[in-house]
Chain A
Amino acid sequence: MVGKLILTRILYAVLTLLAVSVVVFAAVEILPGDITTRILGRSATPEAVAVLRKQLGYDQPAVMRYANWLGGVLQGDLGTSLSSQRSVNEVIGPRLANTAILALCAFVLSVPLSLLPAAAQALKPGSLLDTIASAINFVLLAIPDYLLASIMLILFVVVIPVLPSTSLVTDASGFWDWVRALILPSVVLAISISIYAIRLLRDGLIDVLSRDYVRMAELKGMPLRVVLWRHAFPNAIGPTLNITALNISYLIGGVIIVERVFSFPGFGSVMVGALQAGDAPLIEATVLIAALIYITANTLADIGSILTNPKLRSAQ
């Protein structure tokens, strides 16, 4: 029963990803300007254009090109970047690794940043602490990530000059270069994720804390700490999983902004560069990867909540 439910969910994810590939391919297809003139320049002879069109397969109808492209993608070949003439895998690979490190740091930081305030607020809802924390949260909610990044730059680069203003890392960067480079971008990302997570977690925890089994544990004389970590948190994990998935989609968008602010050489900057250059294969690949990450995270979260929720398990 559970297996069937999970299988359906996975099938859904694959279908959605397929639909994304169609949407992306169609959007890139209607990108303005002929792809060949973009490569060869405006003064190219018609013969040269014709040769290149044939070479790139642009003399075939769009449906055929889509099929070829999808076939390649399924075999792990994302095509060749138009602007650098290198394979897309080669261009994206190292950048994706950089961004994965950044995202992981941000994610690890965001766990205590969201759990601790949420727990403190949920333990005494309506208290002065809760009210002040909620108010701060509400103000921070109005500050977009690019503005938050600027504020952090002013604080830790201008007012207290301890950190570098750009996070350029290269192959030659040592461990401490990486640490210094990663602090500001990952803190900005972590804060902007936590702002959303805290609100949801707080409400979820308050709900769980009012349940009978938590009351029972409290009445047994269990220390509050144990009640919270052993009884309340595990039961708030279902919703938390969904928040995590949401965070990952947010991370993908946030990464683009943060990489731009701090000039971090990652996946987001490749995507922005590809869009600015009209580099079709690179755009298609980056968007597809972003969607793949989002869909995978969402599907895993759904499967997680199917597995942890006995009601959902027996429903179908």
Chain B
Amino acid sequence: MTVTAVSPAISAPARLWSGFRSLPLAMRCGMAILALHVFVAMLGLLWTPYPYDAIGTGVGATGMSWQHPFGLDQLGRDVLSRVMYASHIVLYMGLLGTLFGMFFGTILGLLSALIGGWFDAILQRFFEAMISIPFLILGLIAISAAGPRLASNPTLIALVVGIVFLPRVARIARAAGLQVVTRDYVTAARLRGESYPAIVLQEVLPNCAGPLLVELALRAGYAPVLIGSFGFLGFGVRAPMPEWGLMLSENRDLIMITPITTIGPGLALATLVFGLNLFTDGLARYLDRAGLTTAR
């Protein structure tokens, strides 16, 4: 890694701007889309055209109009307001779930690589079993196991997303960790008698950052899709709380009358995933260019 000296004459915003300019185009476009999503999410939290759960704000199951650009659902709730209010719920669940899965997956994967032996063998069998259950099914089981009282809680949904991601992240982290643990600096740390957690945090983790960052972005892009599938199947957050997948299923029966009520939430979901995918694609390219994708 080279550190470029920056002359103090250049102001901080200008430096940030030039740093931003040097990123791959895909990443910049992705960041712009994500910024828009964050803005809408914050706006939706503070203000929506109508309250998200207000019933009968117009004639139910009607299409596009100036008052209701995304139409009205069966109960006469304004779909645009619901899409906007759902934004922060989806972002919260997606982000928390991804971070949870990344955090524990990374720690367990790297420890597995570092400790090896029976610890590694048992953990790998266990993760292998979890991966053999298709992720949607694994998620649905976890939600059912939590019980009806907790089921519609956004934090619980986020934790389930994390549990589904965990074994997959652990596998990537372990593979990246295995390339690092034989290096001299790790051996030196071992000989110094440092504890496993300390070695993982100080020696192994920083040298596996590249692949793990890409994994983080990849998982973040998949989280809204998974959350949407839970909602769509009726296992996610419950009405009146809005969530895009749930809304797609709520308005499925209206598809013959007002297709716009499903296009609205669909558009929100697709653009978020598209932005995250663009960002991931750009990030992978950027790290590749910087030679950071393989563990050093």
Contact = CB atoms under 8 A, between A and B. Distances in A.
B277 interface: yes
Given A142-B270, A146-B248, A165-B256, A278 B144 contact: yes
Contact of A287 (B133, B256, B273, B277): B133
Contacts of A24: 133, 141
Given A256-B137, A260-B232, A150 B266 contact: yes
B255 A257 contact: no
B55 to A, nearest CB: 23
A147 interface: yes
B273 A138 contact: no
Contacts of A261: 252
A300 interface: no
B245 interface: yes
B229 A19 contact: no
A90 B140 CA distance: 23
B125 A144 contact: no
Contacts of B148: 32
A10 interface: no
Contacts of A252: 134, 137
Interface string B248-271: 110010011001001100100111
B239 interface: no
Interface in B214-246: 225, 228-229, 232-235, 245
Nearest to B281: A138
Nearest to B126: A19
Contacts of A147: 228, 248, 266, 269-270
Contacts of A33: 147
A19 B144 contact: no
B142 A17 contact: no
B4 interface: no
Given A15-B125, A253-B136, A290-B133, A272 B145 contact: no
A126 to B, nearest CB: 16
A271 interface: yes
A153 B249 CA distance: 13
Contact of A158 (B145, B234, B259): B259
Interface in B158-210: none
B233 A272 contact: yes
Interface residues of A, number: 49
A129 interface: no
A48 interface: no
B231 to A, nearest CB: 9
Nearest to A19: B129
Contacts of A146: 228-229, 232, 245, 248-249
Contacts of B233: 256-257, 260, 272
Contact of B274 (A27, A139, A272): A139
A249 interface: yes
Given A23-B129, A165-B255, A287 B142 contact: no
A187 interface: no
Contacts of A264: none
Interface of B: 125-126, 128-130, 132-137, 140-142, 144-149, 225, 228-229, 232-235, 245, 248-249, 252, 255-256, 259, 262-263, 266, 269-271, 273-274, 277-278, 281
9 contacts: A22-B129, A24-B141, A31-B144, A146-B249, A158-B256, A252-B134, A257-B232, A275-B141, A290-B134
Interface of A: 15-17, 19-20, 22-24, 27-28, 30-33, 138-139, 141-144, 146-147, 150-151, 153-154, 157-158, 165, 249-250, 252-253, 256-257, 260-261, 271-272, 275-276, 278, 283, 287, 290-291, 294-295, 298
Given A146-B248, A253-B134, A272-B140, 17 more contacts: A16-B128, A19-B129, A23-B126, A23-B133, A27-B145, A32-B148, A143-B273, A146-B232, A147-B228, A147-B248, A151-B266, A250-B134, A257-B229, A260-B233, A275-B141, A283-B141, A283-B144
